Chains A and B, each alone.
Chain A
Amino acid sequence: MKFVLLYLLLLKATTTSFGGLSSLPVLREDLVIRHQFLTDRQLNLAVTAGRAGPGPNGLYVVSVGYLVAGMPGAWLGWLAMVTPAFLIIPLAHFVGARADLPRIRGAIRASTVASAGLLTVTTLRLAQGALTDFVFVGIAAASFLIFSFTKIDSLWVILVSAAIGFVSGMFGG
């Protein structure tokens, strides 16, 4: 029963969002707040793991599934991630021509902006648990600037952050 519920919650998040991380607020609402299957820290960890490797940005859903229910959960996360992709085939058949209508495009663009707002609100809450000292605040700020304004690969940012954490851990501990 938990597996069915998990799949439906993950699918709800992926089918109601446009773009890799925009499903995060819906996932947090369902898995962290409502059902408490996951903590904020685990959700943050899943985003990191999904982004540290190659592939689509939405991969964090697989990590979320794994953290909630092990390998079966990871499989369900993958299924929830890929399921909406196939909606594009009937879309290409029937509504492709309408995708350029101003009202349809307006609805999509407005919900994308709302996703960004929701993502900001969610991240502010995750930041409260993650940014516990000045080093971490500095890393988050640098990471924001690098991802926003440069094309530097995310892997390098994660590796350099890990190295800074290692060095600060040596001096701190």
Chain B
Amino acid sequence: MKNELRSLAAVFLRAGNLTFGGGDAITALLQRELVHRREWLTRDQYGLAQSLAKVTPGTAILAFCAATGWIVRRSAGALAAVLAVSVPSAAIAILLTMAFTSMSGSARALAVLGAVLAASVGLMWAAAWLLVKPELNKVTALRTVVLVSGVFIARRWSISPIEILAGAAIIGALWPCEENA
């Protein structure tokens, strides 16, 4: 059992800390390892973990790791999976933050930092676009346009993000826009 927990942690350690590209890349690697190579999860269990991760607040990939770890080894598995995925990569993020902060000394370093921050702005726009894109189909496009316009108007009126998110959730519940609803 101890060996199994160690192997589980090793799989998540590799997936979370040697994979660039965020949640999708990590999920793809975990699917290969947990479902196809090691057969610790069935495809249905994997699908359930993926669906639930999408409805859990926070970073979906961490919820996904907690769920798959929990299915394999209950609480110890969930804890091992989340720690293995997040601790080393968090340490790397701190080192990168230190490096970027220390770059404010020279003009050339500032130009490099400015370029990297500009790339980050593009990344954030892309993140917003990729969240909206699946909702621009025939069934949900109108609701999406109403919601996005509503957010812009609400922010102009200085309504807080939390109130906007709560309002959007209520609109979504009352206007589900399901294909079969």
Contact = CB atoms under 8 A, between A and B. Distances in A.
B181 interface: yes
Interface string A51-94: 11111111110110011000100100110011111111101100
Nearest to A101: B176
A99 B51 contact: yes
B interface, over-half SS: helix
B176 A148 contact: no
B23 A117 contact: no
Contact of B111 (A29, A123, A169): A169
A84 B64 CA distance: 11
Interface string A111-122: 111111111111
Interface residues of B, number: 102
A2 B43 CA distance: 45
A135 interface: yes
Interface of A: 12, 14-26, 29, 41, 44-60, 62-63, 66-67, 71, 74, 77-78, 81-89, 91-92, 96, 99-100, 102-123, 126-127, 130-132, 135-137, 139-148, 151, 153-155, 157-158, 161-162, 164-166, 168-170, 172-173
18 contacts: A17-B57, A20-B127, A26-B161, A59-B93, A63-B93, A82-B62, A88-B53, A89-B67, A102-B176, A102-B181, A104-B173, A106-B177, A111-B165, A113-B143, A117-B132, A121-B151, A157-B122, A166-B111
